[in-house]
Amino acid sequence: EAQVTQNPRYLITVTGKKLTVTCSQNMNHEYMSWYRQDPGLGLRQIYYSMNVEVTDKGDVPEGYKVSRKEKRNFPLILESPSPNQTSLYFCASSLYRGKGQPQHFGDGTRLSIL
Residues that bind another protein (CB under 8 A): 4, 31, 33, 35, 40-45, 48, 50, 56, 58-59, 90, 92, 97-100, 102-103, 105-108
Is the distance from CB of 53 to CB of 2 less than 8 angstroms? no
Nearer to another protein, 14 or 27 (CB): 27
Nearer to another protein, 69 or 102 (CB): 102
Q: How far is the CB of 92 from another protein (least distance, A)?
A: 7
**Of residues 65, 72, 105, the one with CA closest to residue 89:** 105
Nearer to another protein, 24 or 33 (CB): 33
